[in-house]
Amino acid sequence: ATVGLLGIGTGGGTYFTRRLATLAKLELTPGKRLPLHYAHVPDPEDAPAVRAAVEQLTAAGAQALVASEPFGVDRPEGEEAVADAARTTGLPTTAAHEITSLYGLRKRTRTAVVNAAILPRMLATADLVDASITKAGVTAPLMVMRCDGGVMSLDEMRRRPLLTVLSGPAAGVAGALMQERVSEGVFLETGGTSTDISVVKRGKVAVRHAVLLGQTSYLNALDVRTVGVGGGSMVRVSGGRVTGTGPRSAHIAGLPYACYADPADLRDAKLTTISPLPGDPADYAVLDAAGGRFALTMTCAANALGRVPEGDFAHADPDTARAALAPLAAALGTDVDTAAARLLDAGTDQVKSVVDDLVREYRLDTDTAVLVGGGGGAASVTPHLAARSDMTGRIAQHNEVISPIGVALALVREQVERIVPGATQEQILAVRAEAERAVVEQGAAADGVEVEVTVDPQTNVVRAIATGATELRTQDRAHRADDAERLRLAATSLKTDPSKVHVLAGTPAHTVYGTEVHRRFRPVRHPVRVVDADGVVRHHAPDARVEATTVAAAPEVLAKLVTENTSYGDGGVRAPAVRLLLGSRIADLSGVLDPQPLLALARSELRSRAADEPVVAVLEVRE
């Protein structure tokens, strides 16, 4: 949609707001720019001037409006006044501070402009979906997938549709989190043409500021890397060897998979190479056989090696798959197993390179991290990749529909960010409370809301991420792990014998297990695992201190523990990373480095709970 941008400012601020007109240079696609018109408002309280600016933009064809002012985060009254006046036109209108509360006039405005560009279409979509489910008699609240792995209400989507960008990959990783209960690992969602790769670290989806229209934004979205390798990726052959796999797939080439062919159709098969599309290299291998032309794909190779479980969406008859690969093996001068392995190696090489980068970037613990495959083509990538890496791998249950499962199980999520130099305890608690209120207003049950607070002393950003389940969302509790099973699972995660694992503490919902790792000439380490009642490892720490107490005694106990485990160095004071096991929740306070705000947040978590309720603190000293 065409966007009308209302820049507000007088004096020195005029220069910076007028420069926002250059956002019209943003490229949607090569050669096509974002349709944007700019009008300036010197005084937001000057109603005639505001009205004239709005009329100027509507006359130019604006379909959505944005109001932006320098320091509108701190003083939003100007943006709000202009936005209120603009809304009288009936056009969808956004104030930049409503999209993000972070400083940076240009980046903040750019994010709001992109949000406005999709606002009319998304409003129409929301109205259509809302009307359809109402007509169908569905009374449950409609939740919409967000790009950061959570869900939001339909009203929130109407206000900030930009949060739906990249929600497709986010739905898949939400399924890995909620159904597969992954606490540390890499999720690979493989379709026919590509694989989306994302990270789960300590039970949370890895997010970062998304790049929109070639520019960084303030949109926190799933950190997803896409590789052009999928279940339908075609093998490339030259000089008697496999030179690559993809990016062209059987789907793009318009060819059927050889492994799904009727065996009779593969009679008299001969290997040849083609260009799937005009301009493509002529080295993509296909079979010309009695039944027509067939593509040799990653899925064909995985089935030939027996890597695709029976009943899987991508399963084919292994004998047919092996027959399909026989001409390729002959051309390579080897057997079918080796030919299939080379094909899979060529495809997973590209995926492995990205996975290795993510493991290093996010410092994943390869001893505990797992590779989890989702999507219809999962079996063509994940099992072979796991066999070639240091991590274990598995295919998710119902992998072909992992994304809709993720949407159904995802938690309501809201993130509040503020730039607060020298943030006080009261300011940090206020940001936390704002995030908590936001998810409750969207339908989350108040007693189950978890809030993670991070304070970055370098950028002065206070960030609170609140998550919670709706009242209507239920979890499968058909299986509860007994003590022996939880001990075994903890020992497996700790990579040691169950006899060397001990119960350190527990609450009705969680049990803390630990062991000792003796190292020559180095201090003994005490790795810890927190396992929930379902047998899921919810938290793991390579070296931690565990203390059991009660709600009444916790403030004093925590104050003592934090004092004893706070480190001091060139970077200043660094409180330990603290997590509290409290009821059914794990309160993550690890994002706060200052001891006093940390203890204030801990007290807020303990508020309104029974004095004799058990609390377990898990602390990790920061190096």
What CATH number should be reported for the domain holding residue 47?
3.40.50
Percent of the chain scoring above 90 in pLDDT: 61
- Tokens 């899987």 locate to 312
Q: Cα(266)–Cα(356) distance, rounded to whole angstroms?
A: 38
pLDDT of the residue at 479? 56
> Does residue 286 surpass a pLDDT of 70?
yes
CA atoms within 13 Å, Cβ hemisphere of 235: 37
Give a yes or no: residue 434 inside a domain. Answer: yes
Instruction: Say if residues 207 and 223 touch (Cβ distance below 8 Å).
Output: yes
In this prediction, residue 58 carries a pLDDT of 94
pLDDT of residue 474: 40
Task: Point out the domain boundary residue: 112, 131, 150.
Answer: 131
**CATH code, domain carrying 384:** 3.30.420
In three-state secondary structure terms, 542 is coil
Does 298 share its domain with 356?
Answer: yes
Q: What is the pLDDT of residues 423-469, one digit of tens each?
A: 888 999 999 999 999 888 888 877 778 888 999 888 889 999 998 87
- What is each CA distance from 487 to 75, 324, 499, 526, in whole angstroms? 55, 46, 9, 16
- 246, with CB counted inside 10 A (0-12, 13-18, 19+), is buried
pTM assigned to the model? 0.80
> Is 194 a residue whose pLDDT tops 50?
yes
153 part of a folded domain: no
Over range 355-372, report the average pLDDT: 90
pLDDT for residue 176 is more than 70: yes
- pLDDT-derived band of residue 268, with 50, 70 and 90 as boundaries? very high
Q: Does residue 385 lie in a domain region?
A: yes
Instruction: Note whether 192 and 376 are within 8 A (CB).
Output: yes
* Within-domain flag for 478: no
Question: Per the structure block, which two tokens stand in for 106?
Answer: 């240009």
Tell me what pLDDT residue 50 has: 93
Close Cβ partners of 270 (under 8 Å, ≥ 6 residues apart): 287, 288, 289, 327
Higher local confidence (pLDDT), 214 or 516: 516
Position 7 scores a pLDDT of: 94
13 plus 126 within the same structural domain: yes
Res 475 pLDDT > 50: no
Question: Average pLDDT of 211-216?
Answer: 81
- Tell me: do 416 and 361 sit in the same domain: no
The pLDDT-based confidence of 367 (bands split at 50, 70, 90) is confident
Asked, for residue 406, whether it belongs to a domain, the answer is: no
Mean pLDDT, rounded, for 142-152: 86
Assess contact for 589 and 513: CB atoms under 8 A. no
214, part of any domain: yes
Q: Where are the beta strands (DSSP E) in 42-133?
A: 64-68, 93-95
**Exposed, middle or buried by CB within 10 Å (0-12, 13-18, 19+), for 129?**
middle
Please report whether residue 452 resides in a domain: yes
Q: What is the mean pLDDT of the chain?
A: 90
Q: How many domains does the chain have?
A: 4
The contacts of residue 95 (CB under 8 Å, 6+ apart) are 66, 67, 68, 72, 76, 79, 80, 82, 83, 112
Say if residue 174 is in the same domain as residue 312: yes
Q: Are residues 205 and 277 in the same domain?
A: yes
Specify whether 120 is located in the same domain as 181: no
| Backbone conformation region of residue 443, classed left if phi is above 0, alpha if psi is from -120 to 50, else beta | left
In this structure, are residues 146 and 152 in contact, taking their beta carbons and an 8 Å threshold?
Answer: yes
Residues 92 and 195 in one domain: no
User: Which tokens in the block code for residue 509?
Assistant: 């919902």
- Each residue's pLDDT tens digit, 41-99: 999 999 999 999 999 999 999 999 999 999 888 889 999 999 999 999 999 999 999 88
Q: Tokens standing for 107?
A: 């980046």
pLDDT of residue 169: 86
**Are residues 415 and 352 part of one domain?**
no
Tally of CA atoms within 13 A in the half-sphere of 205 that contains its CB: 32
Q: In what order do the strands lie in the sheet with 585-588?
A: 545-550, 614-620, 577-582, 585-588
Indicate if 416 and 391 belong to the same structural domain: no
Q: In the predicted model, is pLDDT for residue 473 greater than 60?
A: no
- How would you label 394-404 residue by residue, b for 16+ Cβ within 10 Å and e otherwise? bbbeebbbbbe
DSSP lists the bridge partners of residue 414 as 466
44 lies in the same domain as 111: yes
Quick one: pLDDT at residue 412? Answer: 86
Distance CA 341, CA 381 (A): 12
Contacts for 108 with CB less than 8 Å, ≥ 6 apart: 68, 72, 73, 96, 97, 99, 100, 102, 218
Q: What is residue 155's predicted lDDT score, i.e. its pLDDT? A: 87
Domain end (from 468, 499, 514): 468
| pLDDT for the residue 428 | 92
Q: What pLDDT is recorded for position 36?
A: 94
Confidence of residue 309 (pLDDT cuts 50, 70, 90): very high
472 has pLDDT over 70: no
Q: Which long-range contacts (CB under 8 A, 24 or more apart) does 51-54 make?
A: 51/85, 53/6, 54/4, 54/6, 54/85, 54/86, 54/89
Residue 386: inside a domain, yes or no? yes
Domain span holding position 105: 3-131
pLDDT, residue 471, reads 54
101 has a pLDDT exceeding 50:
yes
The answer to whether 558 and 529 are in contact (CB under 8 A) is: no
- Is the same domain home to 552 and 589? yes
The answer to whether residues 374 and 230 belong to one domain is yes
Residue 410 DSSP code: P
